[in-house]
Amino acid sequence: MRAVVADGAGGPEILSVQELPDPEPGPGEVLLDVAATAVNRADLLQRRGHYPPPPGASEVIGLECSGTVAALGEGVSEGDAPWAVGDEVCALLAGGGYASKVVVPAGQVMPLPGDVDLVTAAAVPEVTCTVWSNVFMLAGLERGQTLLVHGGAGGIGTVAIQLAAARGARVITTGGTPEKLDFCRSIGADVAIDYHEEDFVEVVKEATDGGGADVILDVMGASYLGRNVSALATEGTLVVIGMQGGSTGELDLGKLLVKRGTVAATSLRGRTPAAKADICASVVREAWPLIADGSVRPVIEGQMPLEDVVRAHELMESGSHTGKIVLTL
């Protein structure tokens, strides 16, 4: 199979497409012929040597894909499972997406959402499962509450804004350029904050009449920790899913106690197949209909062939993109 191989750890230039042995599906697994995959920020960390795959997962980068079912492993027969050879699907992966073939636990294979085409569907699983599991399953965002999501124009942000808005929440987001802020408003953000020019804590307080955000979805980590707690509503939940701003920060427990707030730090990749299967099932049940009816739409900066993986990583690192970057096979 064709696959992206990293020559050590470092910059995008260490990536190249090479031939590797085809994988074989084990018990409970499905083999997919990959049509497309998508670039995630975690892929950059893995390339730099900072985010190794969990034990047993493919060393090939890639946390999601779309494709066609090529074979079913032991215990996943066509008569007993929802999948049959030839089905077009998308999947949440622990690794292996940057390749023409990948094996994945059957519970992490999902139907295409609505009339989304096969290539576009590659950009949907990771971000949707991340947002759904954190904002709704963990933090319990409800209709009428306020969500603050940092980096609203990114892959995670564009899905978080749309899902929250579709389910009746008020959405506040941050961004770095007027164009990105305008885009965030166009997809459902009620308030968009320029983090270069404005203090998001003050804007959140003003927008909520001093109440704060009920849920905060944060990709920055340490550099935003104190301010996020300040922006949090009473009995609110701060969910940290990234560390772009560092991993070690100072937490004012007194302020958190007064607010009876919760700080949760989570990741999706290292969860068990059973836990991921539960998330995927919930996403298919709750989020897929919103994509099918157009309430939520995948936002894609562009598509490029797998051979352009270096350029794709450079684009992701530049931060100039909006939404997802898709690699086609």
Stronger pLDDT, 259 or 77, i.e. the higher one: 259
Alpha helix positions (H), the chain: 41-47, 125-131, 155-166, 178-186, 200-207, 225-231, 253-259, 273-286, 288-292, 309-318
Sketch out the chain's domains with CATH numbers.
Answer: 2-124+270-328 (3.90.180.10), 128-265 (3.40.50.720)
33-60 pLDDT per residue, tens: 999 999 999 999 999 999 999 999 999 9
* Dist. CA 298–CA 246, nearest whole Å: 29
- Whether the per-residue pLDDT at 30 is higher than 60: the answer is yes
Cα radius of gyration rounded to whole Å, the chain: 20
The pLDDT value given to residue 280: 97
pLDDT-based confidence at residue 75 (cuts at 50, 70, 90): confident
- Whether the per-residue pLDDT at 226 is higher than 60: the answer is yes
168: left (phi over 0), alpha (psi -120 to 50) or beta: left
- Whether the per-residue pLDDT at 248 is higher than 90: the answer is no
Average pLDDT for 282-308: 97
Percent of the chain with pLDDT over 90: 91
pLDDT-based confidence at residue 76 (cuts at 50, 70, 90): confident
The pLDDT value given to residue 113: 96
- Whether the per-residue pLDDT at 155 is higher than 70: the answer is yes
221: left (phi over 0), alpha (psi -120 to 50) or beta: left
The pLDDT value given to residue 145: 98
Average pLDDT for 299-319: 95
The pLDDT value given to residue 81: 57
- Whether the per-residue pLDDT at 80 is higher than 60: the answer is no
The pLDDT value given to residue 78: 63
> Order of strands across the sheet with 262-265?
191-194, 170-175, 146-149, 213-218, 232-240, 262-265
* Dist. CA 71–CA 262, nearest whole Å: 44
Average pLDDT, rounded, for the chain: 95
- Whether the per-residue pLDDT at 150 is higher than 60: the answer is yes
